[in-house]
Every structure is written in C-alpha cells, then in structure tokens.
Amino acid sequence: MMTTIHPLSSEDAAFVAAMRQAAAAHKGAPLGPEARPMFDAMMASTPAAAGIRVEPGTVGGIPGFWLRLEKVTSTSRILHLHGGGYVLGSAQAAIGFASQIANRAGADTFVPNYRLAPEHPFPAAIDDTVAAYRGLVAEGAERIVVSGESAGGGLALALLSFLSAEKDTLQPAGAAVMSPWTDLTLTGSTYETRAEADPIFTKDVFKGFVAAYLNGVDATDPKASPLYARLEGLPPVRIDVGDDEVLLDDSIRYADRARAAGTEVSLSIWTGMPHVFQASIGQLNAAEQSVDAIAAFLRQRLA
C-alpha cells in the first residue's frame, strides 16, 4: 500500500505558527501525573460531534464511556484508545475527539479508561485494552475496528499483534492510528532530525514516560513496543502522522516492517503538522481531512 505526503495549506500554516509560538515556553517540560488536569483540559477542548449519546459503561471489566449513535442497529463497534504517554489522558477527556471519529465512521464506540502509570505500570494498559476488546466480543460485536492516538495508537497496534496469535479469537477488522508511539526504545531517527520542528515534545519527555510506564521492563517487549511484535497476518492498518514530530520515525518504521511482513498499510504524512493534530478539528483543515479519511477507512473495514 501507499505512502501519501499531504501538503500544508496557507490557512493551516498560520494556525500552526500561532500554536507553535504559544507552546514554545512549555516545550520539553516533563509531563508526570501532576500534568493530568492540564492534559485532560487540552484534549477535552476538541468539540463533540452532534447526535452522539454519551453513556458511562463497563466492558470486559474495564470502565469507560460508550459513544452511541442515533438510529444505529449494527453490531459493528469501534474500540478507541486515548493517548497520553501511558501516564496522562482519560476516557472522559477523549470523548469529543473519539465522537468525531464515531460519528463519521457510523459505529458505536467504546473508550476504555485503561489504568495509567506510574501507579499501574506495564502491562496494565495493554492488559486493560485486551480485556475491553474481549468484552466487546463477549457482548456480541461481530466486527470491531480499533483507533487510537499516540500511546493509544501504540496500544492499538500492540493489540493487533497480540490477538493475531489467537486463531480462535474474533480478529479486529482493521486499525487506524494517529501519531502512534511504536518504539519505547526511543531509537527513531526523528528524535534528532525533528527535534527543532516538533513544537511540543523532546526525547527527554518520552524518556520520562518510559521510566514511569516500563518500570525497568525491556522496552522491546512486543506488548510495549509493537514495532518489535510479530507483524504477519494483521488486518489492514492506516497510519496518519505529522511531518513535524519526533515520533514520525515510529510511524515510518512500523509501516515499513508491517508491509515487509505482508500487512496492508497506508501511511499518510501531513506536512507541517504536529503530534495528534487531528485533535484540532474545527481549527485545522488538515485535521478535518485526516479524520474524514480515517473514518472512511474504518467504515470500509466495518462494512
């Protein structure tokens, strides 16, 4: 499958420049649990899609939120995994963002509140993700796709490889991930080549996340770093990533390895865009275009 490079529009360039200026003072600041309220407020600013009913729920023993669409009778489901470096983020803060995907893809969506580090280090997050997926199957979902951003994108890809070893389990029909964190060894070349371009993150920020989450576990464990997982026999994957982010290489290397293993991967690289730019839907044209394309991919996988 293809790699697509999307150009930067002049309107988006102006918005990103302003955002870059606003973020400059905080770039590289360590992000521990104390940053959770700030991170949640930032993620919760993504507007919710119209016509979505939000219900607290528990799936597979994991609490979270259901995003229910009006007049949908299908048993297809989306499992959406929020980002935050395994230390930050929550299902509640992700409702607006996930609802934009759910609404466009046309499927009821569950957003699990997986446990966070350092209180609950690896493998708590992936264990909770697997439990939520199994819960959707147990509740009668006949087709499931997975979406996620940043660490949630890494969880989504780790889930695919983990489940692919189980021949008697309903396999996901596909996954769409945004700026996925696929390699907790932090060996991607773009930690250096995009160090200046990235308006938000530095390698040291990710080192802090790794220390909190892995707690000494080998970073090449495939349940932590899907880049090192078995990539044969996976369902189709769509990856969207900004060209101005230190995690760019995590997407490129994963796409290369997955394709080499025979997995169908489409990689979209968005010029001038920062990490998880899709959360700025309503402000960035690229966010709208990316989320529309992600939803079209998921809708096709659920058909």
Catalytic residues: 150, 245, 275
CA dist 53 and 240 (Å) reads 27
The tokens of 166 are what? 């189980």
Q: Which amino acid is at 78?
A: I
CA contacts within 13 A on the Cβ side of 167: 0
Q: At what angle do helices 285-302 and 95-105 cross, to 10 degrees?
A: 50
What are phi and psi for residue 209, nearest 5 degrees? -60, -45
CA-based nearest residue to 14, from 284, 291, 290, 287: 284
- Measured CA distances, 138 to 56, 68, 141, 156, 301 (Å): 18, 18, 7, 19, 20
Which one-letter amino acid corresponds to residue 90?
Answer: S
Look-up of token digits 């220390």:
211
User: Is the separation of the CB atoms in 82 and 90 below 8 Å?
Assistant: yes
Query: By the 8 A CB rule, do 277 and 200 touch?
Result: no
**How far apart (Å, rounded) are the C-alpha atoms in residues 139 and 192?**
45
